[in-house]
Amino acid sequence: MSEKFSALTQLTEDEMMFKDMVYKFAEEQVKPHSAEMDRDGNFRPELIKQFFDLGLMGIEIPEQYGGTGSSFFMSILAIEALAMIDASAAIYVDVQNTLVNNALLRWADDSLKKKYFPQLASQKLGAYALSEAGSGSDAFALKARAEEKADHYILNGQKMWITNGGEAELFIVFANARPEAGYKGITAFLIEKGFPGFSVGKKEDKLGIRASSTCELILDNCVVPKENVIGEVGKGYKVAIETLNEGRIGIGAQMLGISNAALNYAMQYSKERQQFGKNLAEFQAIQFQIADMATQLEAARLLVYNAARLKDARQDFLKEAAMAKIFSSRAAEKITSQVLEIYGGYGYTKEYPVEKLYRDAKIGQIYEGTSNMQLQTIAKYLLFK
């Protein structure tokens, strides 16, 4: 899978070896099941176990808790490599690392880290539950409530469109513990699947990333110990916003993988498919399309890698993360659409892989902040910061 990169996207030897290792694993273990998982809308549990065995689910978790103690950038490389084979596979690793683990790394106290990081690094999948039926882009309009008791909270409400919801055993859930304070009452809780009053509801039947579960969560007098509050009561809005900034870079990495796979298929097919007595690759129109797609991909990679490097360097990356997400998701939609057209009628059938890439790409402009929300973030940063 080794490729040539510009100076700004050049990887160190260790980074390239890691990315190649993840890609090879995905090619050998995930790819043979990809079409079946997409058709059935289910991800094979043994593959998730293999993610844990490879250390892909605790990339930034410190070694003292059983993680690999590596960087955020390495998480991005793993997500990108997996997405080149199957975007659904990439999502399981993405949510675990960029949302769940990252939120706990920054906001959880030592007791929570000591209790849950070993589980997240070795066996338990996590999920991030912010969205509700009436609070998507307007995330702080959430209706879930948390009522304080002596040594615990009682949570009531519903969460919607929760990625990894079907397989996860640990959930970061946001509810308002002080509704009179508005968004400043929102609090983050770490909930175990077995807590009383917690259940997983409807699983969504989706256009793309079909093997990645997206579920409703039901909180019906759910009992959560006070020690499972992440950060401070009423500071959940900060946990949510700042964690999603990191998550957007992960979405960008997914889009890189999808775009790269599509471009590779286009180049291969154009050298094999003949029309009018010559290969498609010999037609200037096809050459120009491939050149344009390669340029879009390289530009997206620059933005995503730059945002990830800034995060690791502990520099401000808010604007860069939003730019990376919006540009890479737009590029993925454009590239996969062009590749499908290059395949012609074949591309529109499920016999060939490009229609799946096209379906998988669309979600990049929707989840973890729509494109309009990314534009708003960028504009506010430029105009009012």
Show which residues are catalytic: 368
CA 252 to chain centre: 8
Half-sphere CA count of 5, side-chain side, radius 13 A: 19
Q: How far apart are CA 70 and CA 72, in angstroms?
A: 7
**Measured between alpha carbons, how far is residue 255 from residues 7, 233, 261 in Å?**
21, 35, 10
CA 268 to chain centre: 28
In degrees and rounded to multiples of 5, residue 74 shows phi and psi of -65, -35
Q: What is the DSSP string of 48-62?
A: HHHHHHTTTT-SSS-
Q: How far apart are CA 142 and CA 186, in angstroms?
A: 9
Tokens encoding 41: 């809308």
Element (H, E) at 268: helix 236-272
Q: How far apart are CA 121 and CA 325, in angstroms?
A: 26
Contact 148, 160 (CB under 8 A): no
Q: How far apart are CA 222 and CA 114, in angstroms?
A: 23
CA 31 to chain centre: 19
- Which residues make Cβ contacts (< 8 Å) with residue 46, sequence separation at least 6? none
